[in-house]
Structure 1
Amino acid sequence: MSKPQTPSIRMVAERAGVSVATVSNVLNGKASVSPDFAERVLKAVRELGYVVDIAASRLRSGKAALVGVVVPDLTNPMFASFVSTLEHAARLDGYDLVVVSARNDPAEEADRLSNLRSWRPAGLIVIPCDGAFAARLPAGQSVPIVVADRIPDAAGFDLVAVDNGPASAAIGRHLGIVGCRTCLVVGSSLAISNVRERWEGVSSASGSIAFEMLEVGFEPEAATAVLAQHLGGAARPDALFALDHMTSLALYRLVGSLGLRIPDDIAYASFDEMEWMRLVSPALTAVRQPVEAMADEAWALLSRRMSGGGGEAVTQRLACAVEFRGSTSREGPARRSAAA
């Protein structure tokens, strides 16, 4: 059996009884085509099942309606939500996205950035693995770039990120107010700017509470092993504060496996609020990031640059919201420590 022929624009023109140029004008929404011709073309398109060859169209026009997006890890719900919001904003402006994951590996990020050039994107939106992102850009990179969430070491990029410090400081003050005296602060790596800012924020909280920082990396199993050593001994902290969602999930599971009760045995707070944190009992005190707003702002910044907008690099910081819930209630270790 011979393979069915893929419908072409010339086949559409022949069936509609018009020129190829007329078909092109109809499909591109040109107003110069008469209603009768337009209906004949659209009828032929439906009957043949013709699909516009977007890649060929872009090649002929020399215009790219593609934007590249690089994130550290697509399995992270926050990054997935960021990409989903970006995709909606891009579609409204007539753009498609090419989304790639660096898998939390700077070398893989460099490879992904290099490979994206072959798509000839009109711009890039990047959540980098760490601050050294600029050094991994391919030589000759000239398209507009917007950096989101994590702050690069090098200046000159449009940036949109949350203001990590104030929300973390609010968590620190709250833990002190409810009577906690010691808090283990857990994050993936201080090489990541937002993790570093969150640590600086919580550790700046005034009061008698002592904070200890523990970096556990990006692998859940290795992180759990490190955490187990810190929580399994007699000198258990009064409170835990996880600085990112993936760390929080591993830490929460470990607390349960050790038989520790939240907040009776240990208070618990987290950055990167996710739905499960509201559904567990007790619900977790958490910092909610404006992920959708960050994605919308990133697209707005890139759209302005792709439209020819110039000027100095723009930095936007968005405020977070803190939700105080039962996991840090006064009935837990806070009250007992205060009374001791």
Structure 2
Amino acid sequence: MASIKQIAQDIGVSAATVSNALTGKGRVSKDLADRIRARADELGYRPSSAARALKTGQSGIIGLVMPDLTNPLFPRIAQNLSIAAEARGLGILIADSRGSETRQTEALQQLVGRGVDGVVVVPQKGTSPEAPGLPMVTINTARDPRNTVSADHIGGGALIGAHIRELGHGHVVLLGGDRVSDVQQDRMRGMREGLGPSVRSETAWGDAGLTALPGLVGQGATAILATSDLLALSALSELSRAGFSVPEDVSLTGFDDLPFATAMHPALTTTAQDVSAIAEHALEVLTGLIAGAERPETGHAVPMQLVPRASTAAPR
């Protein structure tokens, strides 16, 4: 079976350096850490959880609390966090708070009770939880004071807004799912910034907002900017039932570039999150906190990418 000593000999470094690279501790350059992890993968190295626990008093397990695993975005985040944890020799326990703030609190308490070394939480909308007595990182948005890392939701919204403005739209609807969501509020803020003062915008929320869309298009709105791809899909259905065509009658955009965005007809213009980079940063900060490092003073925003497709065009 492969060992830390063998990896150290192959790379030409000390066993302590290999251990630090695999656990995310100490000062090891990213290039060297990547080489060490790659060699560990080639050799099939797997750390012993029991040995780690005896040596460090740590379980080698981290907890992850997700807000709703029925949303296609969150399993993708969970998968990337799992990959990032495994690359550091860590196991991961995943809890789904299933849309409930109470369940979120219970899930955090259960993970603490199971002896995890730290927790990653993607909070329920409108909440900013704490994990009592444990290192914790939060994946949320800039307005959350506890946010550690997130997609740049404001910047992503600005990309969408600028795209619509440059196409020549002068009257748009910003469509959100829930006013309580900090993420959606930040996305709308970015959209307004990208649209600029020359474009008229109005806001619609939830089921009532979806129902109002055909009337707003009838009153002259030529683009609808939704705060998620799921919401854009619902908007497309509502518009189609009312006899409006996308993008001939009205342009439509989403957010997050979920897999079904390319299967929609027309394919959806949206923005893409770099979920891998978010997961890597979250695990880098969490393993540092577990090792005793200071918490970063500010959260890190990972840029988003505009993905233009056939659902947007110049207004008629």
Contact 2:172 2:200 in 1 (8 A): yes
Q: Does 1:322 align with 2:311?
A: no
Question: What is the Cα deviation at residue 130 of structure 1?
Answer: 3.1
Determine the structure 2 residue equivalent to 1:74.
69
CA distance in structure 2 between the partners assigned to 1:29 and 1:207 by the alignment: 59
Quick one: which amino acid aligns to residue 283 of structure 2? W
Quick one: which amino acid aligns to residue 238 of structure 1? T
Determine the structure 2 residue equivalent to 1:10.
none
Q: 2:277 aligns with which of 272, 288, 293?
A: 293
Contact 1:70 1:125 in 2 (8 A): yes
Determine the structure 2 residue equivalent to 1:113.
108
The CA RMSD measured in Å over matched residues stands at 2.9
Determine the structure 2 residue equivalent to 1:247.
231
CA distance in structure 2 between the partners assigned to 1:130 and 1:268 by the alignment: 24
Note the alpha carbon deviations across 1:74-114, whole angstroms, 9 max, x for none: 11222111110111121222221111112222222122222
CA distance in structure 1 between the partners assigned to 2:144 and 2:268 by the alignment: 33
Question: What is the Cα deviation at residue 290 of structure 1?
Answer: 0.9
Determine the structure 2 residue equivalent to 1:128.
123
Structure 1 residues 264 and 131: alpha-carbon distance in aligned structure 2, compared to 1, 3 A threshold: same
Quick one: which amino acid aligns to residue 162 of structure 1? A
Question: What is the Cα deviation at residue 173 of structure 1?
Answer: 2.6
Secondary structure of 1:100's counterpart equals: strand
Contact 2:285 2:295 in 1 (8 A): no
CA distance in structure 2 between the partners assigned to 1:209 and 1:71 by the alignment: 37
Question: What is the Cα deviation at residue 126 of structure 1?
Answer: 0.7
State the TM-score, normalized to the length of structure 1: 0.71
Contact 1:158 1:313 in 2 (8 A): no
Determine the structure 1 residue equivalent to 2:18.
none
CA distance in structure 1 between the partners assigned to 2:235 and 2:147 by the alignment: 34
Question: What is the Cα deviation at residue 269 of structure 1?
Answer: 0.9
Secondary structure of 1:310's counterpart equals: coil
Note the alpha carbon deviations across 1:190-214, whole angstroms, 9 max, x for none: 3222211111111222253211122
Q: Does 1:185 align with 2:169?
A: no
CA distance in structure 1 between the partners assigned to 2:155 and 2:141 by the alignment: 16
State the TM-score, normalized to the length of structure 2: 0.76
Note the alpha carbon deviations across 1:257-314, whole angstroms, 9 max, x for none: 3332110111111111122222334322111111121111111111111222225445
Determine the structure 2 residue equivalent to 1:12.
none
Question: What is the Cα deviation at residue 146 of structure 1?
Answer: 0.6
Secondary structure of 1:111's counterpart equals: helix
Quick one: which amino acid aligns to residue 145 of structure 1? M
CA distance in structure 1 between the partners assigned to 2:182 and 2:305 by the alignment: 19
Pairwise mapping of residues 108-187 of structure 1 onto structure 2 (< 5 A)?
Answer: 108-134=103-129, 137=130, 141-151=132-142, 153-154=144-145, 157=146, 159-187=148-176
Structure 1 residues 324 and 207: alpha-carbon distance in aligned structure 2, compared to 1, 3 A threshold: farther
CA distance in structure 1 between the partners assigned to 2:236 and 2:251 by the alignment: 11
Q: Does 1:230 align with 2:213?
A: yes
Aligned-residue sequence identity (percent) comes to 24
Question: What is the Cα deviation at residue 131 of structure 1?
Answer: 4.4
Question: What is the Cα deviation at residue 62 of structure 1?
Answer: 4.1
Structure 1 residues 228 and 158: alpha-carbon distance in aligned structure 2, compared to 1, 3 A threshold: closer
Q: Does 1:197 align with 2:186?
A: yes
CA distance in structure 2 between the partners assigned to 1:226 and 1:68 by the alignment: 37
Q: Which moved more, 1:237-246 or 1:80-89?
A: 237-246
Question: What is the Cα deviation at residue 256 of structure 1?
Answer: 3.0
Secondary structure of 2:211's counterpart equals: helix
Structure whose CA Rg is larger = 1
Contact 2:223 2:251 in 1 (8 A): yes
Question: What is the Cα deviation at residue 180 of structure 1?
Answer: 2.0
Secondary structure of 2:311's counterpart equals: helix
Structure 1 residues 226 and 269: alpha-carbon distance in aligned structure 2, compared to 1, 3 A threshold: closer
CA distance in structure 2 between the partners assigned to 1:160 and 1:228 by the alignment: 35
Secondary structure of 2:127's counterpart equals: helix
Quick one: which amino acid aligns to residue 315 of structure 1? G
Secondary structure of 2:128's counterpart equals: helix
Structure 1 residues 307 and 158: alpha-carbon distance in aligned structure 2, compared to 1, 3 A threshold: farther
CA distance in structure 2 between the partners assigned to 1:29 and 1:117 by the alignment: 29
Contact 1:163 1:320 in 2 (8 A): yes
Question: What is the Cα deviation at residue 174 of structure 1?
Answer: 2.4
CA distance in structure 2 between the partners assigned to 1:72 and 1:288 by the alignment: 20
Where structure 1 has 5 or more consecutive residues not aligned to the other structure, the ranges are: 1-25, 32-52, 217-222
CA distance in structure 2 between the partners assigned to 1:148 and 1:162 by the alignment: 9
